[in-house]
Structure 1
């Protein structure tokens, strides 16, 4: 990379960014429920989610679907580069939330009329709330999964810097709320079990954060194959290089530093920090790990094996981890 992109002149931002700034001033940290699923007030509304449920879908639409803190922005960066045949100009000139706008937010993707084709969109919605028209279309969903133990640690610390989210409380309180599905977007277990039913469909790709971390180049090739896009060696190399953690962290358009502190206060912790797998072992106590494993085994009985389903002996945290979830100052890469 040639270095971080410079922020654009205010005249080029337009009303979308003005709306983000205005919304960020009205965040309450409270949640409302839509068909039983909790959503943060201010960023989402019952109307915006209903619009998404009933929106029209184009056959060349590409959706990145995740449970929060599962690698959403990493996949957006990869797709942004693939769509442009490896050319990094787009990712260095347009904020990531404008390249792949969120479907279900008040500033939802389906209300933006000037998106180029193919439209790249993001969503955290569980399958039962997702756009109905998708299921009768040729549009594609890439679902990113991640070890839920890393998800809970990342979400805990994200909750400390994100203005729309409730204060997470103590680590134990937050872990219990996570295991009960009493966090934004509800149960991680229900979310992944709902979407994994799409496995085998031609327009659905399930890929994990761990697979990207283990073999980014191979994972990019899988995504290209799924999208029916062939990249030459030079273009493929550019996608891999420019979607690395270090490249994203250095890119002003991808590291979320352009957002106002009222929406994301990175003075209290970086949005992108480590970019590693298994960091939960540095945060969970033995008791927390055991509590998590009990619920995980019960909830995921009969499900396929995921990359994070290690031998339990290998997955145990140190008896005296340091720091604990509540002592860490930042959270891992999205």
Structure 2
């Protein structure tokens, strides 16, 4: 625990270094809630920053090229890093005050190249259409699922057993409908309505 926030043990142990971290000019922070397209946007950003050079994107796994500390831990009694609503609303509220690009998973599914261009504009890149297309093709769900540098296939099964649940699942929106019962859906709707009652932030399901 750090204050009243449940965190993974090694992250909590490193909290002083996190608090004292000083960003350098040109640093990019990708902040997502778990299973919200983290690997997808990380791959896009890495390719955009390197002008769509696919050989560069093969220099290491995605978590080596875009280091991160947040991940889900099966069996934890609480959700690490705090509630979903607060996480999203805090960034949404300051998106115009700070240098923040706020993207939606559903928008990325709807028009990937449009969202890639948003990333390009944000990082100050003006790449030609053929490079945008190359980035798009490199970051489709199928391409990433087949890419060992992005699909976590090199993680030991003792850490991530993909025979139980593959890291790259379906790459779609709305799959919750195949898992939620009517009662669970009603419970979530009640929670969601309460969580976003004080903001104009809305999501598509």
Same fold (TM over 0.5): yes
Aligned to 2:134: 238
**Which of 49, 61, 64 is 1:83 aligned to?**
49
Aligned to 1:61: 27
- Asked if 1:190 corresponds to 2:158, the answer is no
TM-score scaled by length of structure 1:
0.58
Q: How does 1:101-180 map to 2 (within 5 A)?
A: 101-102=67-68, 105=69, 124=70, 165-167=73-75
Mark the structure with the bigger radius of gyration. Answer: 1
Matched position secondary structure for 1:297: helix
Distance apart, 1:201 and its partner CA = 3.1
Do the aligned partners of 2:42 and 2:66 also contact (CA within 8 Å) in 1? yes
CA distance, structure 2, for counterparts of residue 282 and residue 46 of structure 1: 35
CA distance, structure 2, for counterparts of residue 306 and residue 298 of structure 1: 12
Distance apart, 1:73 and its partner CA = 0.7
Which ranges in structure 1 are unaligned for 5 or more consecutive residues?
1-32, 106-123, 125-157, 160-164, 169-176, 309-314, 316-334
Do the aligned partners of 1:92 and 1:252 also contact (CA within 8 Å) in 2? no
Bigger strand fraction:
1
TM-score scaled by length of structure 2:
0.93
Do the aligned partners of 2:106 and 2:173 also contact (CA within 8 Å) in 1? yes
- Asked if 1:284 corresponds to 2:180, the answer is yes
Matched position secondary structure for 1:276: coil
Aligned alpha-carbon RMSD (Å): 1.8
How many residues end up aligned between the 2 structures? Answer: 205
Distance apart, 1:183 and its partner CA = 1.1
Distance apart, 1:216 and its partner CA = 0.1
